[in-house]
């Protein structure tokens, strides 16, 4: 988990304040997610269309 997320307020307010912001890659490239896992999440978790956020 990002140090930015850990330093933020926990709960809806802290996590949703990042909504719509680009994700930053890990500082250590070895910690990048493998393409097969990204594909699985796109197919099974992050289905389009996304929900609108206030």
Residue-wise pLDDT for 25-46, tens only, equals 889 999 999 999 999 988 888 7
The predicted structure's pLDDT at residue 37: 93
Q: How far apart are CA 5 and CA 18, in angstroms?
A: 9
Other C-beta atoms within 10 Å of 18: how many? 13
Task: Return the structure tokens found at 48.
Answer: 């389009």
Question: CA 49, CA 2: separation in Å to the nearest integer?
Answer: 26
Higher pLDDT, 51 or 21: 21
All structural domains of the chain with their residue ranges: 3-44
pTM reported for the whole predicted model: 0.45
The two structure tokens encoding residue 6: 């850990």
User: What pLDDT score does 31 carry?
Assistant: 92
pLDDT top residue among 39 and 13 = 39
Instruction: Report the alpha-carbon angle 48-25-16, nearest 5.
Output: 55
Return the pLDDT at 45: 86
């Amino acid at each position: 988990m990002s140090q930015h997320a850990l330093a933020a307020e926990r709960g809806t307010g802290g996590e949703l304040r990042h909504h719509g912001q680009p994700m930053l890659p890990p500082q250590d490239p070895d910690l990048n997610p493998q393409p097969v896992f990204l594909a699985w999440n796109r197919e099974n978790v992050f289905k389009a269309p996304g929900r609108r956020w206030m």
